[in-house]
A and B are shown apart, each in its own frame.
Chain A
Amino acid sequence: MIARVALLGRWGIGNLIDLGKAGIMLNRVLVRMPNLRKGFPLVLQQVYAEGVLSLLIIIVSSLFIGMVLALQGYHTLTKFGAAQELGPLVALSVARELGPVVTAILFAGRAGSAVTAEIGLMKATEQLSSMEMMAVDPLHRVVAPRFWGGVISMPLLTMIFNAAAIYGAYLVGVRWLGLDGGVFWSNMQSSVEFRADVLNGIWKSIVFGVAVTWIAVFQGYNSKPTSAGIASATTRSVVYGSLAVFALDFILTAMMIGEW
């Protein structure tokens, strides 16, 4: 009985230690003199690896999500004779909720797992230790560019996701189901507010970007240097990243709607 309680306590202490380690790592990544000349090309490479290479999956899935939303929304709205409200329905749900959340989850699966596996393998093959031997801080050389690359890529991907999803809804609603294009756009414009809807969605995506890349980078840096350790670190990176996105999304939505 006592052993069980001790097990629970050890688990809790272990989690707290991990949280503290992650905080210290983030602090060491953020608080330092930025070296623009050396750091900028590294960050650029990571924006390419995490952002540009995620573009295809983001665009394809956003087009499909927009088209499905239009189909489902049209089907339900025609029952109430309100099919002309399809534009606001799609635009509001994509800009406020679906855009940031789905982008963050796809990003955690596509880029976060890759970052974790890469850093974990660097650790397992002792590349990180050899960097330290050469007086190169792996936190600055390896971790910081990946972190900043993710934080920069996330809002850009979200903007592209939003626009592509709304265009997908336009294709289905107007081109296929035969709604009037002018009504679709003008109803959307009259009910979507730039600051309250579009910009708040982008704020959300910045927060998600920080959370997802922080988790990915830390899981890689903290992984056990074995093949099984890298496997479980990659799994944890995706699972924790997605869970953090959902929890943060609830908190942020409550803050934005309830005006804390």
Chain B
Amino acid sequence: MLSQRLIESLVGLFLIFALVALSILAFQVSGLTTLFPPKTYAVTVSFDDIGGLKVRSPVKVGGVQIGEVSNIQLDPVTFKAVVTMDIEDQFNDIPDDSSAGILTAGLLGDNYVAITPMYSKTVLKNGSEIQFSNSAMVLEKLIGQFIYKIGNGDKEDKTGGGDAGT
């Protein structure tokens, strides 16, 4: 039987070991940078089509993440999607005539909101709305347009050929 003191120190080491493992899981594996979420302010923007945007999708300016999407709702009157974004307080100098668009990270990646800054002197504040928005690019629509164009092109070619024949 080990002495109580040795057992106590071994159990203490075990606890420290487990806490080190937990902090590795938190910081190295799940990329938790701060224990307390940074202070944010809310900005809304409405889109015709948000594609695959989800709550907690990143909000970026020039590729750098400055916040995340906190809420997505449908406006009952205009049938537009109203996206609320939480932007970190340290980025408090974004001009209020900036435009927001929904882009895709890579060919098959997730959607994110990209804000393109403009030149107005007034800045976005808590509760303000971004006026200019570009909807998400939906691959099916693009393919549809493409096929429609090809179909039209063929028809023109045929009629053109017929004209040449006569």
Q: Which residues of A contact B (CB under 8 A)?
A: 41, 44-45, 47-48, 51-52, 55, 91, 95, 155-157, 159-160, 162-164, 166, 185-186, 188-190, 192-194, 197-198, 202
Contacts and interface: CB of A to CB of B under 8 A. Distances in A.
B31 A52 contact: no
A194 B23 CA distance: 11
Dominant SS at the A interface?
Answer: helix
Contacts of B166: none
A164 B20 CA distance: 11
A44 B7 contact: yes
Q: Which interface class (under 10, 10 to 19, 20 to 34, 35 or more) fits B?
A: 20 to 34
B55 interface: no
Contacts of B26: 194, 198
Contacts of A160: 17-18, 21
Contact of B11 (A51, A159, A162, A192): A51
The 5 A-B pairs with the shortest beta carbon distances in the complex, nearest first, are A189-B31, A156-B18, A163-B21, A194-B30, A159-B21
B11 A47 contact: yes
B14 interface: yes
Contacts of B24: 163, 166
B77 to A, nearest CB: 30
Interface of B: 2, 4, 7-8, 10-11, 13-15, 17-22, 24-26, 28-32
A194 B26 CA distance: 6
Given A189-B29, A192-B31, A194-B30, 5 more contacts: A52-B13, A52-B14, A163-B29, A193-B30, A198-B26
A34 to B, nearest CB: 18
Contacts of B22: 159, 163, 202
B154 to A, nearest CB: 34
B25 A44 contact: no
Nearest to A155: B18
A194 B32 contact: yes
A52 B2 CA distance: 13
A65 B26 CA distance: 20
A197 B30 contact: yes
Contact of B28 (A159, A185, A197, A202): A185
24 contacts: A45-B4, A48-B11, A52-B10, A52-B14, A91-B30, A95-B25, A95-B29, A156-B14, A156-B15, A159-B19, A160-B17, A160-B18, A162-B21, A163-B21, A163-B25, A166-B24, A166-B29, A185-B28, A188-B31, A189-B30, A192-B29, A192-B30, A194-B25, A194-B30
